[in-house]
Amino acid sequence: MKATLDAAGRIVVPKALRQTLGLKPGQALDIRAGDGRLEIEIAATPVQLKKRGKGVVAVPDTKLPALSAEQVRDTLERVRR
């Protein structure tokens, strides 16, 4: 897909890509440049490690949306393989 840089230096990510990747307005992205390329990745969610009972869990710094039933099923299928 092609995109155009505007006068302010912005790039619009085509709607089809935003939908495929689940990108939302205001979402943080990591941008890197090198070898004549520009790479954009969805930024990792910052987390804090906290003790819970006898274990440690990762607690996100910001509220995350709830997973859909389909996302839970897909994740469980991948983990069980």
| Mean pLDDT across 4-25 | 92
Residue 38 lies in a domain: no
pLDDT digits (tens, 9 = 90+) for 27-66: 899 999 999 999 999 999 899 999 999 999 999 998 888 8
pLDDT of residue 63: 86
Residue 18 lies in a domain: no
Cβ–Cβ under 8 Å, residues 46 and 60: yes
Residue 76 lies in a domain: yes
Please give the residue range of the domain that contains residue 72. 48-80
Domain tally, the chain: 1
Residue 55 lies in a domain: yes
HSE on the CB side for 55, CA within 13 Å? Answer: 3
Residue 53 lies in a domain: yes
User: Percentage of residues in the chain with pLDDT exceeding 70?
Assistant: 100
